[in-house]
Amino acid sequence: MVQIYFLGTGGIMPNRERNVPSIAVRYRGEILLFDAGEGTIRQMNIAKLSPMKIDKIFITHFHGDHYLGLGGLLQTMNLWNRKKPLHIYGPKHTFEFVRNFINSGFFRPVFDIHVHELGEARLKFDGYEVWSFRVEHGIPALGYVFKEKDRRGKFLPEKLKVYGLKPGPLLGKLEREGQIELNGRIIRLEDVTGPRRRGVKLVYTGDTAPCERVVLFSEKADLLIHDATYLVPEDRGESYHSTVEEACEVAKKAKVKLLALFHRAFRYSHDEYLSKATELCDVDFIVPKDFDLLTVESDHWKLGNVLEGAS
């Protein structure tokens, strides 16, 4: 199970309805933060998420609405006497821009900050991977994939009975080691389990014009969080952003299970986005609000809001 907290769903600048981008992904007690627009620490406090639980921050690009909240996060961690290291990932120039924060004012961190500049990379962690990929935004910019490792299939009672296995230490050993010997017979884990279960796949584009690399990396994702800044192309001008229709087309091409329309311009209301997406989208979609909480498993999802309860 993976939980996605939409801490800020707007773009460019905050308005009364929504803050600028930040997404917290909670997995097995760890929080991964994707982007940190201004006010992210306030949004986390409202959502009752501790910044001390963050081990990794992934920045898509260095426009202010995606990273200016880093300063508040780092100084709050310092104030609370953080001890464990923090890892910050981002595109080219990440080291330079994070160093500027650390050297700002009289702030000096009491904990280690490890900065990683990425191109297209595949980072392996305990139980999951994070992939970075290039997007089209006119400056160095990345999208990210969170991919939970595939899990073993469930134990099949009828198979356990055939091999004379019951819940207990022997079954635990089989799960840990992959095979055991019982009564002179080798029993492998796959002999008594069903098909492997596909791990959850989440994709976050950050800011981007529609591009084939997003389609490629989003293939059959459980959730695609895609830039949908504008309702119509004429509002976009020459900026490297996507419209609602373009985001829907990308999701359809990639055969994703659920699309979240994100980075909505401050000039439009939530209802305007919802109406446009209902008109144009041929895929399942949501238009998340600030503090929406999406719980995703490989076979289903549930949407709620930390301020309002589940829906």
User: How many CB atoms sit inside 10 A of residue 64's CB?
Assistant: 12
Question: How far is it, in rounded angstroms, from Cα 302 to Cα 89?
Answer: 29
Among 239, 179, 237, 183, which Cα is nearest to 208's? 239
Among 20, 48, 47, 45, which Cα is nearest to 34's? 20
Q: Is the pLDDT score of 6 beyond 90?
A: yes
Secondary structure class of 78 (helix, strand, coil): helix
**Torsion angle (degrees, nearest 10) of CA 217, 279, 270, 69:** 20
What's the confidence (pLDDT) of residue 202? 97
Backbone angles phi, psi at 125, to 5 degrees: -130, 180
Q: Where in the chain is the domain with CATH 3.60.15.10?
A: 2-151+197-310
- How many percent of the chain have pLDDT more than 70? 99
Mean confidence (pLDDT) of the chain: 91
Average pLDDT for 195-224: 93
Strand partners, 230: 243
Q: Is the pLDDT score of 156 beyond 90?
A: no
Q: In what order do the strands lie in the sheet with 54-58?
A: 113-117, 86-90, 54-58, 30-34, 22-27, 2-8, 292-297, 300-305, 309-310
Q: Is 264 exposed, middle or buried (0-12, 13-18, 19+ CB in 10 A)?
A: buried
User: pLDDT band at 311, cuts 50/70/90?
Assistant: very low
pLDDT tens digits along 101-119 = 888 888 788 999 999 999 9
Question: How far is it, in rounded angstroms, from Cα 92 to Cα 178?
Answer: 42
Question: How far is it, in rounded angstroms, from Cα 176 to Cα 87?
Answer: 30
Question: How far is it, in rounded angstroms, from Cα 254 to Cα 13?
Answer: 30
DSSP annotation string for 170-218: HHHHHHHHSEEEETTEEEEGGGSB-SPBPPPEEEE--S-B--HHHHHHT
Residue pair 103/96 in contact (Cβ under 8 Å)? The answer is no
Catalytic site residue from 35, 55, 65, 235: 65
Residues annotated in the binding site, as ranges?
61, 63, 65-66, 137, 207, 263
pLDDT tens digits along 42-63 = 999 999 999 999 999 999 999 9
Average pLDDT for 192-217: 91
Is residue 65 among the annotated active site residues?
Answer: yes
Q: For the domain covering 2-151+197-310, report its CATH number.
A: 3.60.15.10
Residues annotated in the binding site for Zn(2+), as ranges?
61, 63, 65-66, 137, 207, 263
Question: How far is it, in rounded angstroms, from Cα 278 to Cα 29?
Answer: 35
Cβ contacts of 91 within 8 Å, gap of 6 or more: 59, 60, 61, 62, 117, 118, 119, 140, 141, 142
pLDDT tens digits along 256-310 = 999 999 999 888 889 999 999 999 999 999 999 999 999 998 678 899 998 875 4
Q: Is the pLDDT score of 74 beyond 90?
A: yes
**First CA to last CA across the chain, in angstroms?**
18
Among 39, 46, 106, 13, which Cα is nearest to 293's? 46
What's the confidence (pLDDT) of residue 310? 45
Average pLDDT for 142-164: 86
